[in-house]
Amino acid sequence: MKYTVKTSGKICHYQFSNIKEIEVNDIEFGEMDYHELEETFLLDKCSVENEKISIDDEIEFEIYDETNNLILEFNSSDITQNDDGGACFCPEPQYNEEYENCLGSFQYFKGEGPVFELESEEELKIENFSYSLMILELDDGEISLMDSFYFINKNIENIDSGVSQGTHRLVKIWKQNGEVIDVNG
């Protein structure tokens, strides 16, 4: 039988770009507003971009059968972390050689997150589900995101994303010298 798994919670869309010192100065001294910054460094030009649901906040899972009947509901606190994955990303240039200076943009949304599809003839039980983590290590803490979702230790395919509403944006520049600049968007 085919099932659809819908998630909801706090979604983080993140982007990182390498920028030169002169570009940092233009941003820092207000010669470039957020829209120029976005067009110049982020839109289809960033080195890393993705959107994942935050495990720092409760994720709700709803599983529906082929006739759209709700079969099972649970929260991220009801399932365990899988040993697979565990990816970690640090934007600070002193720890990441790919960046001269790193521009990072984080847009947060609340609502529906990734949608997964799975096929199984086995009974669906909460204890058969797990997730792996993706960690963004930032200067002021970590952001923990769900990297992959599993059923009986098999990665479940992410087929879509639900609808969510924007809540806020955070933009930072990590400079080669270790200084961090918050850019108001």
pLDDT in tens, 135-154: 999 999 999 999 999 999 99
Q: Domain containing 21: what range?
A: 2-183
Strand 129-138 to 87-89 pairing: parallel
The end-to-end CA distance of the chain, in Å, is 46
* This prediction's pTM: 0.89
What CA–CA distance (Å, rounded) separates 168 from 183? 13
175: helix, coil or strand?
A: coil
Question: Can you give the pLDDT of all 185 residues of the chain as single tens digits?
Answer: 999 999 999 999 999 999 999 889 888 887 888 888 889 999 888 999 999 999 999 999 999 999 999 999 999 999 999 877 678 999 999 999 999 999 999 999 999 999 999 999 989 999 999 999 999 999 999 999 999 999 999 999 999 999 999 888 999 999 999 999 998 75
Cβ 55 vs Cβ 145: under 8 Å = yes
Number of domains in the chain: 1
Sign of the dihedral through C-alpha 107, 110, 115, 121:
positive
Nearest to 145 by CA among 84, 48, 55: 55
Question: Measuring CA to CA, how many Å separate 163 from each of 10, 91, 182?
Answer: 12, 28, 28
